A and B are shown apart, each in its own frame.
Chain A
Amino acid sequence: MKTLDAVIAESPVFAGLTQEQLEFIAGCAQNVHFEEGQIIAKRGDAADAFYLLRIGEVALDIDVPNKKSVRVDTVEAGQVLGWSWLIPPYQWNYEVTATELVRAVSFDGACIRDKCASDTELGYALLMRFSQVIVGRLQATRLRLIDIYGADTH
């Protein structure tokens, strides 16, 4: 059975961190699971955690008054869920629901945040990695704005 730091090291998000950094992060992590339909976070909740999904899929929904919620994204196994723990005001922006059984590594965002404030090398390394996650989601969102499946007009 793999140790948590070994599991974390396999994720591209944490690739390249030193063993010491990985062990610290693993010390702030634990295995969790969510049943299908379970709400993991609600919009406005304190973003005290983020997750590395190992199995399963979660959906990010926005409530629309008087209408069904809009599903704006899904996060699948191997990806990181959540970056609001890193950026003030440290609140979830979406309702996050497990759409199937999810097994994940949960990270104590507040713990890692405090460490990053004192260990700037770790802080910079994590900021660089989560910036890539954020930029990837931003680019995907921009592409969706231009409607890449749009029709021609014959």
Chain B
Amino acid sequence: MAQTLTETAGSLEAMTPVPYAVTAKRQDTYDTWTLELEPVDGAPIVPGPGQFNMLYAFGVGEVPISNAGNFETDERLVHTIRAVGAVTKALCAAEIGTIVGVRGPFGNTWPIVEAKGKDVVVVAGGIGLPPLRPAIYHVLKNRKDYGRFALLYGARTPTDLVFLDEVKSWQCNYDVDLDITVDVGDTDWKGKVGLVTKLIPPAQFDADDAQAFVVGPEIMMKFVAQELMNRDLPAESINVSLERTMRCGVGLCGHCQIGPTLVCRDGACYTWDKVEKLLAVKEL
């Protein structure tokens, strides 16, 4: 059962990083690494699909990173990180054995159990795939409990696609309707070229009985949600994960406020009907 520290807002426990050691590291793309972490001492954190942790590169800073592990079989923390700023660059540079601080898990979880019996549509953009990986593994482990499963994945270029071999194995082994596209390819790229939204019209799902799970930059989720609604999927059935500047993780500091909601406390998973208007406000 997923724990959450959100209820313990303001407590020492919620605000104190727990030391974790980097036990495995893999380079996914030219700027993205996946770290596996295990606690130096004590019981491991057990997150749920959709939750995030605050990762602390000691002496540099702390960032929120979604959990990307396969919680169905493995209790190790898995985080996929793109090196774009000082903190994420420090985390991606961590060698095996490096100690990092971990706080969490924070936030709510994907309503993946509630989607049982329905078709599932997962839409991932770029590094948006890892946060969906725990939910995907839940569906794969319980495949017969769900209807059709469409996995639609878009990235800037072929070299920006992460977990590609793993994704293709899902298609082969679990009856997943996989479709991939990139913004720009070259003649070695044998797949589709174009926005991830182009994958939605031909995707196989029953809009009356489906749940969509979408992760990517907010601008991408906006256009994906619109395209899903063009397929008559209700906004209430479209789940997105917002990424804002989380600092405390427990709803105290207000950095992640967007309108009436604090993403770290009330999200990061929302249904589209709850956030569509908020994301339409300029510079909010």
Q: Which of B61, B85, B188, B195 has the most CB of A within 10 A?
A: B195
B187 proximity list for chain A (CB < 8 A): 59, 61, 68-69, 71
B238 within 8 A of A: no
Contact present for B186 and A70 (CB under 8 Å): yes
How far is the CB of B6 from the nearest CB of chain A, in Å?
21
Contact present for A149 and B190 (CB under 8 Å): no
Residue on B nearest A147 in the bound complex, by CB: B156
Residue on A nearest B65 in the bound complex, by CB: A154
Q: How long is the Cα–Cα vector from A68 to B185 in the complex, in angstroms?
A: 10
B130 proximity list for chain A (CB < 8 A): none
B126 proximity list for chain A (CB < 8 A): 149, 151
Q: How long is the Cα–Cα vector from A144 to B125 in the complex, in angstroms?
A: 12
B186 proximity list for chain A (CB < 8 A): 68-71
Q: A61-B187, A74-B194, A76-B192 are in contact. Are A146 and B219 (CB under 8 A)?
A: yes
A contact residues, range: 20 to 34
Q: A70-B184, A78-B202, A153-B85 are in contact. Are A148 and B220 (CB under 8 A)?
A: yes
Q: A71-B187, A143-B223, A153-B85 are in contact. Are A148 and B243 (CB under 8 A)?
A: no
B155 within 8 A of A: yes
Contact present for A152 and B198 (CB under 8 Å): no
Q: How long is the Cα–Cα vector from A115 to B135 in the complex, in angstroms?
A: 55
A149 proximity list for chain B (CB < 8 A): 125-128, 154-156, 160, 183, 216-217, 220
Contact present for A71 and B189 (CB under 8 Å): yes
How far is the CB of A137 from the nearest CB of chain B, in Å?
9
The one of B82, B84, B192, B195 in contact with A140, judged by C-beta atoms closer than 8 angstroms, is: B195
Q: Interface residues, chain A, CB within 8 Å of chain B?
A: 57, 59-61, 68-74, 76, 78, 99, 140, 143-144, 146-154
Q: Interface residues, chain B, CB within 8 Å of chain A?
A: 61, 63-64, 82, 84-85, 87-88, 125-128, 154-156, 160, 181, 183-195, 197-198, 202, 216-217, 219-220, 223, 243
